[in-house]
Chain A
Amino acid sequence: MVHRTTRRGLLKGGLATGAALAAAGGARAEGDPAILELQEWNQFLGEGVDARPYGFPSEFEAHVKRRNVEWLTADPVSSVNFTPLHELDGIITPNGLCFERHHAGIAEIDPAEHRLMINGLVETELVFTMQDLLRFPRENRVYFLECAANSGMEWRGAQLNGCQFTHGMIHNVMYTGVPLRYLLETAGLKTNAKWLLPEGADASGMTRSVPIEKAMDDCLVAFKMNGEALRPEQGYPVRLVVPGWEGNMWVKWLRRIEVGDEPWHHREETSKYTDLLENGTARRFTWEMDAKSVITNPSPQAPILHDKGHTVLTGVAWSGRGTIPRVDVTLDGGKNWHQARMDGPSLSKSMHRFYYEFDWDGSPLLLQSRAHDSTGYVQPTKNELRAFRGENSIYHNNGIQTWYVDEKGIAENVEVS
């Protein structure tokens, strides 16, 4: 594709040609000052290797951060913030940008004082120190963690302007941890062991009931994320990883796992994290996250900043049931669809990255993406979901997202017929 220089491109880049020359005056006659003038970083010494023992992003990236929606909850210590998906690329979420959801604030735990207990229907009730956990064989796996309430504010219609807010209760990192079954088999499961109750060491004492089949299949007891220790807000020193299932089950600050023969029906699986349907009944134990996708650029927080011409559309897709072999993209609100280009690793229960490059003619767009997962499931529209569930489910809203992009490149969260 030929890159054509345009008037807006000139102004933004500060380039000088005959046309800009007349407007900008003689100073720019010879070219771009970013090139013509000696820059300070090009002349003076920078900081040494002792200045940044733990590195942070450039000061020019200071706007790339987690944000919360103040009106959403009563208090920030029992609340959620959102991953800035529109600022990220590839599939890995940097540790400092992984969204947070706490029910009683961040527990700050000295790993030397942390213990993991396994009790209940086991041959020997056991206590592990962090040092004990490090002596089990480890696995490294990339998984997405999505809050069941991600996009929950959108059930009644388009609410929030930005994929950070509509879809940012998700992150995708590489975990290092011990398969949970090694711990359970070391304790020795009794024959009537059917359910687990992982419990957190925070001031909410977070608990969820997990069926034994899932625990023995792919759950991890993880202590590293993206190679370094878990961040305190992600459960340091150790958390449960429950691949493909709703984030609330991934108990942080994991201190105990009870083994039982029945589920416990605790607060976060009765009062919360149950899906109320239109007829007044409610689904319980809706653990798996359905296939979902969102276009991250352009989006309301990331408008198109260039004039018409070559444009990169990108986004992410994921499924709690497997991989994402395919994502479709539409520019016209669903009249015509195009297969997007998948790029980067395709891992089960991990985020996938897609791109669609096109020549924007400068006219308004209605952008949508539609994920297909490896089981054949196709992401539904929001109205298709509402037909089954009504508008009061709160959780598990995986409907197709629409962004309206106007002729200036400004994007807005909308719904379409």
Chain B
Amino acid sequence: MSKFPELAAVALAVALAGPAAAQSFDLGRPATEAEVAAWDIDIRPDGMGLPEGSGDVWTGEELYVDLCASCHGDFGEARGRWPVLAGGDGTLTDDRPVKTIGSYWPYLSTVWDYVHRAMPFGQAQMLTDDEVYAITAYLLYLNYIVEDDFTLSHENFTEVRLPNEENFFLDDRAEAELAAFSDEVCMTDCKDAVEITARAAVVDVTPDDAAARERREAAAAGADAGVTETDAAEEVVEAAAEEPAVDPQLVADGEKAFAKCRACHQVGEGAKNRSGPHLNGVIGRLAGSIEGFRYSRAFQEAHDEGLTWTEETLAEFLAKPRTYIKGTKMSFAGFRQDEDIDAVIAYLSTFE
């Protein structure tokens, strides 16, 4: 590196030499080998970055059912609006294309890289390299790209090609479209007739916007809109103020600690089941008792045996979920601090 002693000298050099001249600054420090290794986890289609390791389809299935199926479905068909991972062959020209690893993704390395860096959702980078190989192998199997006796490893990785690789091409808007979109424009008498061909009101998927609704009503009635959403918000605040006393600091700490749960569990008004059941009124509730939620077999058994969530049972569960209920599909490994458990339970107790 060339070094400049002062920024002023650098600025002068920029001014004299123009933007093309390389500028180097005596700032930062060399990264250690261990630091680069800890962060440099990316994988490329040519296999660059792949660690040594392997995993087979059957091991992958077990992991997938435990860690992935709650969002992506048992066969990659997805629940709710989580990404579909399998199927969709031949649908890319349909009205509703289904873009999956098998039908759309160009490279297998993308699967390995993404599962490794970001999955399971909310528990990123918890998988070992062998587990990532196994899950990737299972995803290939779900897409009919390999047979059930297949083992994926760093050695055979680049031999696997995804079916849609050839159907991507570089951005060609400049050649394909630009000429058509830079014509002289017409300013007067450009059309004889104009008809409305589509209306959003017919589709009716816009979220309710109280302020906008009131304004529309005001415009229609010829009167001014004076009410805003603050009124509704204040009612909620007032109602909350009447709640019985739980240590507010503990509840606030619990709300923070609950961040680890929020990816899968909702609480509060309008809470719905996501990849985990909603947790309103969980204290005092029979385990596995939310209708419409698809519990693991382990939870169904706990329900049948009459396990009820009290502060004590919940505390035990949250310390080591997979030990307390063997076979739960909840991927969370448990809170390490007892304080977090107490706080989360206090927080949950505020939702009826």
Binding site for B on A (CB under 8 A): 7-8, 11-12, 59-60, 62-63, 67-75, 77-78, 103-105, 117-120, 123-128, 132, 135-137, 157-162, 164-165, 181-182, 185-188, 197, 199, 203-205, 207, 255-256, 258, 260, 262, 264-267, 270-271, 274, 276, 278-288, 290, 300-305, 307, 328, 332-338, 366, 370, 372, 375-380, 384, 388, 391-392, 404, 408-410, 412-417
How many angstroms between the C-alpha atoms of A301 and B216 in the bound complex? 8
Is B171 touching A335 in the complex (CB atoms < 8 A)?
no
Is A414 a contact of B199 with CB atoms below 8 Å?
yes
Q: Which residue from A71, A123, A185, A337 sits with its C-beta under 8 Å from B190? A: A337
Q: Does B92 contact A (CB under 8 A)?
A: yes
Q: List 29 A-B contacts (CB under 8 A).
A: A12-B224, A74-B71, A103-B118, A105-B259, A119-B36, A125-B31, A164-B209, A181-B23, A186-B25, A204-B124, A205-B41, A260-B48, A264-B113, A265-B45, A265-B109, A266-B110, A266-B113, A267-B113, A283-B168, A284-B168, A288-B171, A302-B212, A304-B219, A332-B194, A334-B194, A377-B182, A378-B181, A392-B97, A417-B193
**Cβ-defined contact, A283 with B190, below 8 A:** no
**Nearest-neighbor residue (CB-CB) of B231 within chain A:** A62
Q: A105-B259, A186-B25, A203-B118 provided; 5 other pairs, C-beta below 8 A?
A: A72-B81, A74-B81, A125-B36, A288-B171, A416-B196
Tell me whether A335 and B190 are in contact in the complex, defined as CB-CB below 8 angstroms, given that A158-B200, A258-B42 are known contacts. Answer: yes
Which residues from B are CB-within-8-Å of A103? 118
Instruction: Please encode chain B, from 180 to 212, with 1 for each CB lying within 8 Å of some chain A CB and 0 for all others.
Output: 111101111111011111111101011101111
B194: chain A residues within 8 A (beta carbon): 332-335, 366, 416-417
B222 to chain A, nearest CB (A): 5
Given known pairs A67-B207, A132-B28, A416-B196, the reply for A409 and B219 (CB within 8 Å) is yes
The reply to whether B30 and A124 form a contact with Cβ atoms under 8 Å apart is: yes
Q: Which residues of A contact B263 (CB under 8 A)?
A: 75, 77, 104-105
A334 to chain B, nearest CB (A): 6
Q: Does B336 contact A (CB under 8 A)?
A: no
Minimal Cβ-Cβ distance residue in B for A14? B224
Contact assessment for A266 and B114 in the assembled complex, using a CB-CB cutoff below 8 Å: yes
Instruction: Please report the C-alpha to C-alpha distance between residue A288 and residue B206 in the assembled complex, in whole angstroms.
Output: 29
What residues on A are CB-neighbors of B52 within 8 Å? none
**Nearest chain A CB to B178 CB, angstrom units:** 7
Residues of A within 8 A of B201 (CB): 161, 412-413
- Tell me the bound Cα distance from A358 to B275 in angstroms: 53
CA distance A157 to B93 in the complex (A): 18
Chain B residue contacts of A379, Cβ below 8 A:
181
Contact A73 B81 (CB under 8 A): yes
Per-residue 0/1 for B26-53: is the Cβ within 8 Å of any A Cβ (1 yes, 0 no)?
0111110001100111111110100000
Closest 8 CB pairs of A and B: A63-B211, A333-B194, A413-B200, A301-B212, A205-B117, A280-B92, A415-B198, A157-B198
Query: Complex Cα distance A160/B198, Å?
Result: 12
B110 and A204 form a contact (CB under 8 A): no
Nearest A residue (CB) for B166: A281
Q: In the complex the two chains form, what is the Cα distance from A204 to B113 in whole Å? A: 11
B320 located at the interface, meaning its Cβ lies under 8 Å from any Cβ of chain A in the complex: no
A276 touches B199 (CB 8 A): no
Query: Smallest CB-CB separation from B45: which chain A residue?
Result: A265
Q: Which residue of A lies closest to B196 (CB)?
A: A414
Please indicate the chain A residues that have their CB under 8 angstroms from the CB of B233 in the complex. Answer: 62
Which residue of chain A is the closest to B20 with respect to CB atoms?
A: A216
Complex Cα spacing A369 to B173, Å: 22
- The interface residues of chain B lying within 8 Å CB-to-CB of A370 are 185
Return the contact of A301 from the options B122, B187, B203, B209 (Cβ within 8 A): B209
User: Is B16 located at the chain interface by the 8 A CB criterion?
Assistant: no
Complex contacts, B186 vs chain A, CB 8 Å = 337
B334 on the interface (CB 8 Å rule)?
no
